Chains A and B, each alone.
Chain A
Amino acid sequence: MNTPDQVVIGIDVGSTTVKMTVVDPGSKEILWSKYLRHETRQPEMTRDMLREIHAAFPSLTKDQIRVFITGSGGSPIAPQIGAKFVQEVNAVTMAVEKLHPDVGSVIELGGQDAKIIMFKKNNETGDKTAQTSMNDKCASGTGATIDKCVLKVGMPREEVPSLKFDPTKLHHVAAKCGVFAETDIVNLVKSGIPRNEIMNSLADAIVSQNLAVLTRGNTLKSKVLLLGGPNTYLPFLQECWRLRIPEAWAERGYEYDKTVPIEDLIFVPKNSDLYAAYGAVLFGLYEPETVGRYRGLEPLEEFIQHGRKSKLGESAGPGLVEVSEQRDAFVDKYRTPDYDDAVLEAGKTYRGVIGLDGGSTSSKCVFIDENENILKKVYTLSKGNPIQDMKDMFRDMRTWAADQGATLEVTGFGVTGYAGDVLERSLGADANIVETVAHMMSAKRWFPSVDVICDIGGQDIKVMFMQNGDVKNFRLSNSCSAGNGMLLQAMADQFGIPVKQYAEVAFEARLAPKFSYGCAVFLDSDRVNFQKEGYAKEELLAGLALVLPKNIWQYVVQIPRMAELGRVFVLQGGTQKNLAALKAQVDYIEKRVPNAEVYLHPHCGEAGAIGAAFESLRVTRRRGKTSFVGLDQAIDIDYTATNDEKTRCNFCPNNCSRTFIDTKTLDGKTARYISGFSCEKGTVENLDALKVLNKERQKRMKQYPNLVDYEAKLAFKSFYEPPVMPSHGTPVDDVVVKRTLLGAVRHKPVQRPFQRASAEVWAKRKDVRIGIPRVLNLYSTGPFWRTYFEVVGIDSRNVVFSDETGEEMWQAGCKYGSVDPCYPSKVCQAHIHNLLFKHHEKKPLNYIFFPSITHIPTFIVNQMDTASCPVVSGTPKVIRAAFTKETDFFAERKISYLDTAVTLNEPLLCKQQMFDEWGPLLGLTSDESDFAIDQAFKAVQAFEDEMERKGREILDEVTRENRVALVMLGRPYHNDPGLNHSVLEEFQALGYPILSMRSLPRDPETIKNLFAEDLAKGIIESGLDVSDVWPENYSTNSVQKVWAAKYAARHPNLACLDLSSFKCGHDAPTYGLIDSIIASAGKAYSALHDIDANKPSGSIKIRVKTYAHTLMLLKEKLEDQAVKKQELDRSMTEKKLEMMIALQTKLAGVGRTDDKLDRAIKTLDEQVAAWRAADEATKPKAKRPQALNVMRQ
C-alpha cells in the first residue's frame, strides 16, 4: 500500500463498537478500516486502534493526519486527540450521498436509537436536501430491545441469522418502547408461542413503529438503504422491511420502479458498519485545513489515566457504602439464613403440598410438609412452555426424594403466577391464586404484623399495604415501570458479572452516578451516557441499585409520606437476593420511616410459591381431599402445543393467533388450555361453544349491567325525537345587533318570521352522507351532532360513525401520524382511515366532520371554566395535517374534511360557529341551523337523563341488596371498549354491575344526603361542587372525574375503578386528588393507569384478580354490616321503648300523662311485637332477653 502524504482518519464510537477508517483525501479511497466491540472501554479501544493505524502507516507523522470523530461516544474523546466531532447522522448522510446518489431514504437502526434520512428534492431550486429524524426517548432501544428479546425467547444466537420472516404468523407486540415490547414478548413466551414467531412479530412491530412514527407521516422514497447492526445482521428484519415498505407504497399510491428486484430497491450495502466513520471523513474534507489536526496519543493516554475520574466526582453521588465495615454489618444483618433441602429418611413417605409460582422469567416450586416446613425448593428459568417447566421441576423433586430412598405423597397443589391458569386446568390444582394474595400469605406466615410487603420480581413490582391482616390496597408496576429486576440482571450480564456477584461488585463503588428514575429504557439510556462519561462498572451497578427504591416508591407507589403506611416492611421477590438492591431499599425506607423495621423474607425468591402452597393446604384441609392428579401423573402428562391457522380465533376481527396446549391425563381425557387470545371469545373452540358463551354473556349482562358499555352505544344511536321544525313564516323572537361607529354593541329585540330553505334543498340534504369518527369527546357529545344533522333533514342512516376501536382498525390505520400523543388521540387517525377506506368505499361520504370542541358544559357548579383538553380539541387539526400532508386523501375522494372549532358552553356562539360552517354547505338558513342546535342540546340532556335513570335503578338495587357496584372513573372515551381494554367486562363477569360517571344519580335529594356533612360544615355550597378539594377546576372532564371520586367516597356501595391513558396530561393532576379522596374515606380503589394501544393482559389479570379479592371483602363487610345494622336498629328501638315506658310510669306516678309519649310507645311497641312474632315464627324456641318483655309487666 502506498502511503499518501496526508490521511484523514474517521472514527465512529458507537454504543457497542468502535469503527475506524483511514482515507486518502485525494482519491477518497479507504486505505484501512476496522471495527471492534469496545466493551464500554471506548477511550482505551480508540487508543488501541489508533496504535494499530500507526503501526500500519509507520511513515506518517502526526502533522500528516487529520481526525474526525462521530458516534454517540465520540464527543468526550474528540478534544483529547484533536478530532472534530461530527454529528452522526450528518456523517451517514455524507457517506450515502457520495456512495449511493440514487438512494431516496436511509433507515439506520442502532443499539439505542433509530434514524431515518429522507432525501427530498426542492422543486424551487432543484437541490436535494436531506430531512432527518431520530426517535424520541420513549421509543428508543431498538437494537438493545432485539438483543434482550433474543434472550427472553431463549433463541441460541447462532440461530438468529438463519431466521426467515414469515408474515402469516404474527402476534401483537408493542414496539412503541422497549419495555412495552418486552412485556408483550414475555406474555407470548408464556403462551407457548414458538420463538421464531415471536422474533418475527418483534421485527414486524419495530418496522411498523418506525414506518408509523419515525417517518413523521412521510413516505420513504425508493431506493431504501438499510444501515446499522440489526439491519445488517438480521436477515428476517431486512425481509420485513422488504414486505412492509412496498405495502406502504401501494397504500399511498407512491410510484416506484417495479422492474427492479425488491432486494435492490431495499438493500443493505457492503461495509455498512463503516458508513458513519467514512462519512465523518467526507464531512471533514469540507472543513478548513486547520480543523481536526491530530494531537497524537499522549493527551488521550493522560485522559484515560486521570482526566475521566476527576470529572466524575463533580456530579456523582455517594456509593452504597462509605467504608467496607458498613457493608459487612449490612451483609451480616440481612444474610438470609442458609437453606438446604431437607434430608429425607429412606423408606419413609412424606406427605405435603406443592406450591408453584410460574413467574415472568423463572418458575419456582416448593414442597411443604403438613407442618408447614419447607422440604424442597426447585427453580427453573422459564423455557417458554409452562407445562414443560412444571414437568422439569416436578421431576427434579421426585428424583430428589427417590435418590434418598423416600417417597413423596402430594396431598395438595397450589399455583400462582402467569402460568396459574394452564396448570390449574391440566393438573387439577387445588388453588390458583393471584400473585399478590400469594405473596401476602407467605409474608404473613413469617411476619404476622407486617404493614407493607414489597415484592420485586424480574418484571413486576408489587407493593401491598396491609390492614387487619388483609390486603387493604396495592400498587403494581405498569408497562412503564416494569422490568427493573430484569434490568439489574441484564446490566450485570453486560459487564460479564454473574448476577450473584452483583452486590459484591457494587459495594466496591465509593461514588455512583445519579440515574434519573423512570422506565427501564430511560435507565438504560442513562447507563449509556454514564458509561461514556467514564464511570466504572461497579459505580454503574451501585447507581442502578440506588435508583431502584426511587422507582418503587416514587414511580410505582407514589405515596411520598411513607411513614403513614406503617412501620413493618417485608421485602421479598427474587431481586431482593441482590444485597446491593436490598441495601438501597433499606436505606431509603429507614430514612423516611422513623423506627422502621425492614425485614427480608427468608425465602424471598419463593414467596409466591410458598403462598400458593399454604393456600392449597388450607383448601384441602377444608375440603378433606385434593383434586391434584398426582406427582407421577403430572410428570408423565402428555401435551401438544399447536399454533397454526386452525387455532387462530376467527370470532372477532382481532384474529388472535392462539396456542392450544392439549394435555392428556392418564385416564385418557384431554384438557385443552387455550392461550394467546385477547378477549373472552378466544376461549372457545367452535361456533356452538361461542353461542353458548354469548348466551351466558347476555344473561350476565342483564343481571349485572354495564352502563359504561350502554353509554358507549347510546351516545351514537338515534334515540331523540325532536319536535317538528317551525314552518316557514312562523313568527319567532330575535335580536337585532348593531355596532356603533366606535364599536359599542346595541341589541334590539324584534319579532320576525321563521325562515326555511326550499323543499328542493331539503330533498338534497336527505342524501348527504356525513362521516364522524367515534372518538374522544364524541363519546359524551355524540347525540348533539347526530341530532343536529337529523333535524336539518339528513337521513339518520347517513350520519355515519366510524367503528369502535379495535386492534385490526388500529393496525390498518396507524401509519399517518407525525406525533405520538396519548392513545385516544393517536387512534383518531385509524378512525379517519376507517371512514375513508371502509365506510366511504361502501357508500361515498360527502363530508367527514371532526369538531374541535373547545369547551364542554358541565353539571358541576362553581367551576372555573369548562375547557376541553388541548390535545383533544387540537387533534382534529393534527389529523387534517396528517391526511393532507403529502397526498390529500380527502380531496382525492371528493370529501370535505371539517374540523370546525366549536364551544358547547356558549349556545349563541356555538350557533354562529355551526352555521358559519354548515350553512353554506347544506344550504341552511340560520333559523334552521339554530333550531337544530337547540334540539341538539336537548338531545344531550335526554342522553344524560337516560343514563341517570339507569344508574339510579342499579344503585337503588345494590343498596337494597347490600351489594357492591363499580363506578368507572375515566374520561368520555374510556367508554370505548377498544380503549378500556374491556377490563370492565371482567368485573361484570365477576358479578359487579358497572356504573359510568354520567349515570351517578344527581337529583337534589340524593346529592343532599350524600354530601350532608360537607354541606353542614359549610365547605361546599352544593354537592355538585368540587372546590373543597380542587379549586383549580377548569377542565370539564377532569373535574367530573374528581367529583365522581368524591361521590364514590361517600357512597357505601360504590367502589372505584380509575382508568387513565398513557401520557394523559389532564389526568396527571388528578392522581393525587383522587388518591387522597379515596384513601381518606377508606374506600376500595383500583387504577389502571398508562393505558396504551397494547393490552397488557398479564398485568390486567393480576389487577382484576387482586381487586376482585378486595371487592369480595367489601361485599362481605356490607352484608355483615347490614345484619348488624338491623340488630342495632332493634336494640335501639327496644331500648327506646324501655326508657319511654319508664318515663310513662314516672309521669303516672305524679299523676300526669303525655299524649305524644303514649302514641310513640304504641308505635314502638307494635314494631317490637312484630319482630318478636317473626322470631317466634322462625325460631320457636329462641329465648329473648327478659328486658324485652317490659310491656307485659
Chain B
Amino acid sequence: MSTTNDKNGSKLDDMSIEAIEAELKQFEIEERKRLGLPVDSAKQWFDAVPRTFTRDQREHTTILVSGLTMAHDLFIQAALRGIGYKVLAMDVPDNDALQYGREYGNRGQCNPTYFTVGNLVKYLDGLRDRGMSKDEIVKNHVFITAGACGPCRFGTYVTEYRKALRDSGFDGFRVLLFQQTGGLKQATGEGVGLEMNPTFFWGVVRAILIGDVLNSLGYRIRPYEVEAGAADRALETSKKIISDAFEQGTSLPVALWKARRELAKVKVDRTRAKPRVGIIGEFWAMTTEGDGNYGLQRFLEAEGAEPDIQIVTSWLLYMIWQGKYDTEQRANLRGVDKAKDEHGGSKFSLKGVDVRKRTASLWAGEQVLRGLFQTFAKAMGLYDYHLPDMDQIAEVSHAFYDNNLRGGEGHMEIGKLIQNVAYSKVNMTLSVKPFGCMPSSSVSDGIQSFITELYPQGIFLPIETNGDGAVNVYSRVQMQLFKAKQQAQKEVDKALADIGMTMDEVRAYLDKHPSMMSPFHRSPHKAGCTAADLVYEVGARKNRLSFLKERVIARVTSKDEKSHAEAHERLLAVARNAAAKTRKKNSIVSVAPEIEGTEAEDAKRPPVPAGRKSLRVVN
C-alpha cells in the first residue's frame, strides 16, 4: 500500500492512490452509462438444485412418491408412514399427466419422462388450484424419485423435474434423488430429513417384494376368476390389510395370512384356454398400470389373455448382477484403472475395493432378496414362481446384445425374449417400448427382429407407446393375440389328445379334486398356456397309483428336471449356435489354445508375459 509520509493527517484516506482507484470506479460506471457500454457483466445462469430437507422440517413436510405399480406405491407409502414419515403416493400417471409433461418438459423426451414429470406437476398444480399458495406447496412437500448415472435418460429425469417445476412456477421445489447405487442425494450434515437407515430400507424392500407377490398373484388369478370382479375385490381387501399392517406396525405375517385367506375365496376355472402373454420391455412402460401403456395388462385380460408380468424384484436382481459382472470383469486386470475423482477416472474402477468383500456382499444380497421373496410368495400362495436367472439371461443374450451395453433393460429384453420362446414360458411376448426410449426402441427392437428369425415359432410383438393412438396399439395387439389364441387352443387340444381325455372329463376330475381348483394351485410347467399345463397335470394324476409311483421315480431320478432341461437346452442351443456363428471370426494366424506353462513345452518361444496370458501364435 502506498501512503504518504504524513502520520497525523486526518485526510489520509483522500490522499492515497487507493482512494483515487475507488473514485475512478464510480467514474467508470458513469462513463459506461454515458457511452452505452454495459455496466454489469452478463448474468450467467445457475441451477441452485434445491434439495435441503432437514429433520425439523419432517413434521410439516409431505414426501411424495410415485412411479411403480399401484400396489407398490401404496405399500411404500404405508411402510414409510409406519416409520414416522408423512408420505403420499400420487396417482398412477394418466394422459393428463402426459400433457403436463409435454408442456413443461423439453421437447423430444421419452414418454416415461413426460408421464412421471407431468404427474408431479399435475399434482402440485392441483394443490395450487385448490388454493394452496406456491410457498406453502414448496415448503411442505418434497418429491423423492429414483435415479441412475445413465447411460439412458433415466438418469436425467431429475434434471427434467427441476426444469418442469421451474417453468410451471414451483421454483425451489425439492426433488430428492435416490440413487440406485449410492444412496440419497440430499443435504448432508446433522439432522437429515430422510434417514437412509436400515429401518428405511427394510420397510421399502418389504413393500416392493410384497407388492410384487401380490401383483403376480393377481395376474395369475384374475383371468380365470369365475365371478367377474371377485379377484379385484379380494386384491383390494388384501392391499388394505397389508398396508394397514405396514402403517400401524402390526404383524406383517398375520396380515399376509389374512390377505391369503381373502384371495383363497376367489373361485377360478383354469380349463379355459387363454394364451399366456409375456410383457417385457422398458421398465416403466411395462410396469405402469395406466395410460402410460394403455392399461395393457387389463386390455390383455379383457381380450381373453393371461398377462405374465415382470416384477420389480427382477430389476433389483439386475442391479446386483451388474455389480457382480462389472467387478468380475475388472478383477483380473493387470492393475486397477484410475478411480473416479473430480479429474476423470471411472466409477467402475476397483481402486481401493476389496473384491472378495464386494463379491461376497453382492452374493449375500442376492440370496437374501431371493429368500425373502420366496418367503413372502409361499406365505401368500404364490407357488412355483421362478425368479429370473440373471446369469442365464446375460449368457444367452450376450452375443446379440453385449452385456457391457447398459441403459434401460439392456440385454434383458433380448434374453427374456429368448427364454420366453425357448422355455415356452408364454404363448406370446409383447415388448413394450415407450416412444423415444433409446435402448428399447432404437437398439433392442432391431436385435429382437433378428431373434424372431431364429425362433419363427415364437409369437412376438413390439409395441410403441406414446400416449395417443390407443386404437392402433390395441389393433396390433389383437392381431397377434389372434395367433396366440389359436396356439393356446392347439396346445390344449394336443394336451387332451396326449392324455386321452376330453375337457369335460378333465372338469369332472377337477370337481372331485378341489385342491386343484384353488386359486393358488399351479400345475407343473409343460406348455405355454395354463390350461394345457392343467390338462397335463390331470392326465398325470388321473391314475393315482401310477402318479404317485411316477412321482417317486421322478424324484429319485430327477427325470422331469432332466427332460425339461434337455428340451430347454435344445431350444437354447439355437441361440447359442447363432451366437457361436456370430463369434466365429477369421484369423490371419493359427492360434494355439491358451495353455499355462508354455515355456516348458517350447523352450525356444519367448516367455509368456506375467499376469494376463498371451496367445501362442502357431505360425
CA distance A926 to B617 in the complex (A): 12
Question: Which chain A residues border B349 with CB–CB below 8 Å?
Answer: 906
Known: A736-B610, A909-B337. A72 touches B24 (CB 8 A): no
Question: Which chain B residues border A926 with CB–CB below 8 Å?
Answer: 609, 612, 614-615
Residues B333 and A764 in contact, CB atoms below 8 Å apart: no
Determine whether A1139 belongs to the interface, using a CB cutoff of 8 Å to chain B. Answer: yes
Chain B residues proximal to chain A, CB less than 8 Å: 2, 4-6, 9, 15, 17, 20, 23-24, 27-28, 31-32, 35-37, 41-47, 49, 95, 98-99, 102-104, 106-110, 147, 149-153, 155-156, 158-160, 163, 167-168, 329-337, 340, 342-344, 346-350, 354-356, 359-360, 400-408, 435-439, 441-447, 449-450, 452-453, 456-457, 464, 466-472, 475-476, 478-480, 482-483, 582, 584-589, 591, 606-612, 614-615, 617, 619
Specify the chain A residue showing the minimal Cβ separation from B410.
A870
Residues A862 and B342 in contact, CB atoms below 8 Å apart: yes
Min C-beta distance of A731 to chain B, whole Å: 12
Q: Which of A870, A1139, A1156 contacts B405 (CB 8 A)?
A: A870
Specify the chain B residue showing the minimal Cβ separation from A132.
B479
Known: A561-B167, A737-B332. A875 touches B443 (CB 8 A): yes
Interface residues on chain A, size class? 35 or more
Question: Which chain B residues border A919 with CB–CB below 8 Å?
Answer: 591, 614-615
Known: A885-B453, A1072-B106. A744 touches B151 (CB 8 A): no
Q: Which of A737, A1035, A1143 contacts B15 (CB 8 A)?
A: A1143
Q: Which of B355, B446, B586 contacts A921 (CB 8 A)?
A: B586
Min C-beta distance of A26 to chain B, whole Å: 23
Enumerate the 7 nearest inter-chain pairs by beta-carbon distance, A residue then B residue, closest first: A870-B407, A874-B443, A821-B442, A923-B589, A867-B151, A881-B450, A878-B446
Determine whether A504 belongs to the interface, using a CB cutoff of 8 Å to chain B. Answer: no
Number of contacts between A and B (CB, 8 Å)? 439
Residues A558 and B106 in contact, CB atoms below 8 Å apart: yes
Interface pairs (12), CB distance under 8 Å: A560-B168, A765-B588, A854-B151, A858-B344, A870-B407, A877-B405, A908-B334, A920-B587, A1022-B342, A1083-B42, A1127-B35, A1140-B20
Question: Which chain A residues border B612 with CB–CB below 8 Å?
Answer: 737, 912, 915, 926
Question: Which chain A residues border B24 with CB–CB below 8 Å?
Answer: 1132, 1135-1136, 1139
Known: A739-B332, A757-B617, A1072-B163. A886 touches B441 (CB 8 A): no
CA distance A131 to B42 in the complex (A): 60
Known: A122-B456, A921-B585, A1152-B4. A735 touches B335 (CB 8 A): yes
Greatest chain A CB density within 10 A among B349, B441, B446, B457 is at B446
Residues B4 and A1077 in contact, CB atoms below 8 Å apart: no
Specify the chain A residue showing the minimal Cβ separation from B608.
A755
Question: Which chain B residues border A529 with CB–CB below 8 Å?
Answer: 468-471
Residues A1068 and B106 in contact, CB atoms below 8 Å apart: yes
Residues A1147 and B4 in contact, CB atoms below 8 Å apart: yes
CA distance A1128 to B152 in the complex (A): 51
Determine whether A489 belongs to the interface, using a CB cutoff of 8 Å to chain B. Answer: no
Q: Is the interface of A mostly helix, strand, loop or mixed?
A: mixed
Question: Which chain B residues border A869 with CB–CB below 8 Å?
Answer: 151, 438
Determine whether A785 belongs to the interface, using a CB cutoff of 8 Å to chain B. Answer: no
Known: A1013-B44, A1143-B15. A134 touches B472 (CB 8 A): yes
CA distance A1055 to B359 in the complex (A): 51
Residues A1081 and B44 in contact, CB atoms below 8 Å apart: yes
Residues B333 and A878 in contact, CB atoms below 8 Å apart: no
Known: A874-B401, A906-B349. A1081 touches B446 (CB 8 A): no
Question: Which chain B residues border A1022 with CB–CB below 8 Å?
Answer: 342
Greatest chain A CB density within 10 A among B95, B438, B478 is at B438
Greatest chain A CB density within 10 A among B147, B156, B350 is at B156
Known: A744-B354, A884-B582, A923-B591. A516 touches B99 (CB 8 A): yes
Question: Which chain A residues border B36 with CB–CB below 8 Å?
Answer: 1124
Known: A560-B104, A922-B588, A922-B589. A927 touches B155 (CB 8 A): no
Specify the chain A residue showing the minimal Cβ separation from B21.
A1136
Min C-beta distance of A543 to chain B, whole Å: 13
Question: Which chain A residues border B614 with CB–CB below 8 Å?
Answer: 755, 919, 925-927
Residues B42 and A1031 in contact, CB atoms below 8 Å apart: no
Residues A755 and B406 in contact, CB atoms below 8 Å apart: no
CA distance A324 to B447 in the complex (A): 57
Residues A1029 and B45 in contact, CB atoms below 8 Å apart: yes
Determine whether A403 belongs to the interface, using a CB cutoff of 8 Å to chain B. Answer: no
Residues B155 and A1034 in contact, CB atoms below 8 Å apart: yes
CA distance A1068 to B105 in the complex (A): 9
Residues B110 and A1065 in contact, CB atoms below 8 Å apart: yes
CA distance A971 to B402 in the complex (A): 24
Question: Which chain A residues border B342 with CB–CB below 8 Å?
Answer: 861-862, 1021-1022, 1025
Residues B108 and A1030 in contact, CB atoms below 8 Å apart: no
Q: Which of B6, B31, B400, B406 contacts A1128 (CB 8 A)?
A: B31
Residues A1076 and B45 in contact, CB atoms below 8 Å apart: yes
Q: Which of A216, A1030, A1050, A1066 contacts B449 (CB 8 A)?
A: A216
Question: Which chain B residues border A884 with CB–CB below 8 Å?
Answer: 450, 582
From 872 to 915 in chain A, residues with beta carbon under 8 angstroms from any chain B beta carbon are 873-875, 877-878, 880-882, 884-886, 894, 896, 898-899, 901, 903, 905-909, 912, 915
CA distance A742 to B340 in the complex (A): 27
CA distance A847 to B467 in the complex (A): 44
Question: Which chain B residues border A132 with CB–CB below 8 Å?
Answer: 479-480
Question: Which chain A residues border B471 with CB–CB below 8 Å?
Answer: 72, 75, 529, 532
Min C-beta distance of B469 to chain A, whole Å: 6
- 14 further A-B pairs in the complex, CB-CB below 8 A; given A516-B468, A1089-B107: A75-B471, A130-B483, A747-B334, A747-B336, A755-B608, A871-B439, A874-B401, A908-B335, A920-B587, A927-B609, A1029-B47, A1050-B42, A1065-B437, A1131-B31
Question: Which chain B residues border A1139 with CB–CB below 8 Å?
Answer: 20, 23-24
Determine whether A526 belongs to the interface, using a CB cutoff of 8 Å to chain B. Answer: yes
Residues A1068 and B108 in contact, CB atoms below 8 Å apart: yes
CA distance A555 to B156 in the complex (A): 20
Min C-beta distance of A208 to chain B, whole Å: 19
Known: A896-B585, A1147-B4. A734 touches B438 (CB 8 A): no
CA distance A120 to B455 in the complex (A): 12
Q: Which of B23, B356, B586 contacts A743 (CB 8 A)?
A: B356
Specify the chain B residue showing the minimal Cβ separation from A876.
B402
Determine whether A745 belongs to the interface, using a CB cutoff of 8 Å to chain B. Answer: yes
Specify the chain A residue showing the minimal Cβ separation from B335.
A735
From 1034 to 1063 in chain A, residues with beta carbon under 8 angstroms from any chain B beta carbon are 1034-1035, 1046, 1049-1050, 1063
CA distance A1063 to B589 in the complex (A): 43
Question: Which chain B residues border A124 with CB–CB below 8 Å?
Answer: 457
Q: Which of B47, B107, B334, B408 contacts A1068 (CB 8 A)?
A: B107
Specify the chain B residue showing the minimal Cβ separation from A765.
B588
CA distance A1029 to B162 in the complex (A): 11
Binds B, one of A84-92, A174-182, A392-400, A425-433: A84-92
Q: Which of B155, B356, B445 contacts A818 (CB 8 A)?
A: B445
Question: Which chain A residues border B43 with CB–CB below 8 Å?
Answer: 1080-1081
Min C-beta distance of A389 to chain B, whole Å: 35
Question: Which chain B residues border A1019 with CB–CB below 8 Å?
Answer: 46
Specify the chain B residue showing the minimal Cβ separation from A1062.
B108
Greatest chain B CB density within 10 A among A526, A1021, A1132 is at A1132
Question: Which chain B residues border A1090 with CB–CB below 8 Å?
Answer: 108
Question: Which chain B residues border A885 with CB–CB below 8 Å?
Answer: 449-450, 453
Q: Which of A740, A1021, A1032, A1131 contacts B147 (CB 8 A)?
A: A1032
CA distance A122 to B459 in the complex (A): 13
CA distance A825 to B37 in the complex (A): 47
CA distance A1049 to B456 in the complex (A): 55
CA distance A1156 to B346 in the complex (A): 54
Question: Which chain A residues border B483 with CB–CB below 8 Å?
Answer: 129-130
Residues A743 and B42 in contact, CB atoms below 8 Å apart: no
Known: A908-B334, A1013-B41. A517 touches B102 (CB 8 A): yes
Determine whether A627 belongs to the interface, using a CB cutoff of 8 Å to chain B. Answer: no
Question: Which chain B residues border A817 with CB–CB below 8 Å?
Answer: 446
